[in-house]
Amino acid sequence: MNKTQKAWAFYDWANSVYSLVISTAVFPLYFDWVAPEIIELNWPVIGLRSYPSSALYSYVLAASFITVAILLPILSGMADKLHKKKLYMRRFLDIGALACMGMFFFTEERIGLGMILSYVASVGYWSSLVFYNAYLPVVAKKEEQDKLSAQGYSLGYIGSSILLILCLGMILSQETGSEEQQLAFRLSFVLTGLWWAGFSRLTLRRMPEENATLREPLLQSIKGGFVRLGDTFQKLKGIPVSIPFILAYFLFSTGVQTIILLASLYGSNELKMESAQLIGTILIIQFVGILGAWGFSKLSGLMGNIRALMLSIFIWALICVFAYLLQPDDPSVLLKFYGIGALVGLVMGGTQSLSRSSFSKLLPVHETEHTSYFSFLEVMEKVAIVLGTTLFGLLTQLSGGMRTAALSMAGFFILSLFVLAALRKSYDRALTE
């Protein structure tokens, strides 16, 4: 692995703290603590409405992904046309990091501010990733991409776990429910933004420089972005199995990302887990995830990318069923919850790493505009998350709990298995041609 590849993988070390501390662990627990069970927001856009706190959180996340889905086709086309992948990546990660630091001012008196900053941070994080992922076929050959992708996710698990342990130490060292503990939560958001913005500079410094001398008016660039989006779709239609692979990716991403984003709230609301127990489960997920990313990378070499991906997705479907069957009054609920967490860790890194490298392998080696290709994958993922989080929120409202919503995610995994099974042989042939 050369220096450029190491620097590319290191961005996972930098950005994964957002995914863990903000999306998965500390922020959802803090939100569950400070937000009332029913939230009333008098926002001019939507008027006065009452929301269950868990449903509102789902809707805000969905709104951020709608925004990303709209922005990315335009920005990725502009990035390829104007050769500014690094510039856009830096701008979005800085926006996300600043929003994380701004969460320091999120208190029970400022629920609206917390939701707005959560929205902005999500847009910054996910938008930066499309430009980051587009560098994978630039910095690595096809035969190197599974290993390098897994290396990135492994570094992400290690780095984010280190920061989470530091934050956990701050939070749990204070009296439960005290103002000091609330301050510790809020300082964790500041540390997350600083970590993300600071370590990402090491990656940006090593990414290949681009010829960014081309200039064109903003409106022309936006129009060109949509034109290139159509062109990219036509090119994808000419790449064997790329469209059915993106469909499968859409289906299993609906389940994977929704579970990752809302698992902490599920444990807190449905299973009555304490903060320390939930964060302990998340740490299990992180450390098992390191083994999972590497394990599935090795497994793909033995059985092929699609079969390895199908195995991980089958386990995801089982996870949904196991979570549905868990009951808060079960004497061994904590032990079973830890077991489910270990399963999530096993397949989380493998699914994400393999899906990234499996798509990258399909792209023509002579192409240079990889951002537009990856934007299609990212847009499908964001639409999937909008579908998943909105469905989760609606089912939570209709059923009065999150249990049915969790089980519904299994349906997306099962559908994706059928699609992957149908394209497996064609995918293997496409890689040998």
Calpha distance 18→30 (Å, rounded): 15
* DSSP per residue, 377-408: HHHHHHHHHHHHHHHHHHHHHHHSSSHHHHHH
Res 129 pLDDT > 80 = yes
pLDDT, residue 320, reads: 92
Which pLDDT score, from 0 to 100, does residue 51 have? 62
- pLDDT band with cut points at 50, 70 and 90 for residue 100: very high
Higher pLDDT: 12 or 215? It is: 12
- Rounded (10°) CA dihedral 384, 385, 386, 391: 90
The predicted pLDDT at position 392 comes to: 85
Q: Is 143 exposed, middle or buried (0-12, 13-18, 19+ CB in 10 A)?
A: exposed
Count Cβ atoms below 10 Å from residue 410 Cβ, excluding itself.
18
Q: What is the pLDDT of residue 136?
A: 77
Least confident of 21-25, 33-37, 328-332: 33-37
Highest mean pLDDT among 90-104, 117-131, 329-343, 363-377: 90-104
Q: Are 91 and 62 in contact (CB under 8 A)?
A: no
User: Which CATH architecture does the domain made up of 3-432 adopt?
Assistant: Up-down Bundle (1.20)
Among 179-188, 221-230, 289-298, the range with the most confident prediction by mean pLDDT is: 179-188
pTM, rounded to two decimals: 0.72
Tokens 């960014």 sit on residue: 212
From residue 166, alpha-carbon distances to 39, 69, 172, 181, 266 in Å are 31, 34, 10, 14, 24
List the chain domain ranges: 3-432
What pLDDT does 231 receive?
A: 74
Indicate the average pLDDT of the chain: 82
Q: How far apart are CA 341 and CA 282, in angstroms?
A: 7
Q: Which of 22, 359, 294 is nearest to 160 (CA)?
A: 22
Higher pLDDT, 356 or 127: 127
Q: Dump pLDDT digits (tens) for 50-65.
A: 666 666 777 787 788 8
Is residue 216 pLDDT above 60, yes or no? no
* Residues 276-296, mean pLDDT to the nearest whole number: 80
**Mean pLDDT in residue range 135-142:** 77
> Using CA atoms in the order 213, 214, 216, 220, what is the torsion angle rounded to 10 degrees?
-140
Percent of the chain with pLDDT over 90: 20
Residue with tokens 């990856």: 374
Using an 8 Å Cβ cutoff, are 361 and 377 in contact? no
pLDDT at residue number 270: 82
> What's the pLDDT at 44?
46
The secondary element (H helix, E strand) that includes residue 329 is none
Q: What is the pLDDT of residue 63?
A: 85
Q: Look at residue 212 and tell me whether its pLDDT is greater than 60.
A: no
Question: Is residue 66's pLDDT more than 50?
Answer: yes
The CA distances from residue 394 to 316, 345, 406, in Å, are 22, 27, 12
Nearest CA to 411 among 268, 259, 260, 288? 259
How far is it, in rounded angstroms, from Cα 286 to Cα 115? 26
Secondary structure (DSSP) of 198-218: HHHHHHHHHSPP--------H
Say whether pLDDT at 159 is over 50: yes
pLDDT at 45: 45
- Cα 258 to Cα 377: distance, rounded to the nearest angstrom: 17
Confidence class for position 370, pLDDT limits 50, 70, 90: low
- Region 36-62: mean pLDDT is 64
The whole-number average pLDDT for the span 33-53 is: 62
The token pair at 394 is: 């609606």
Lowest mean pLDDT among 69-78, 234-243, 348-357: 69-78
Spatial neighbors of 421 by CB under 8 A, at least 6 apart, are 310
Selected residue with higher pLDDT from 316 and 31? 316
The per-residue pLDDT for 420 is 92
pLDDT at 161: 86
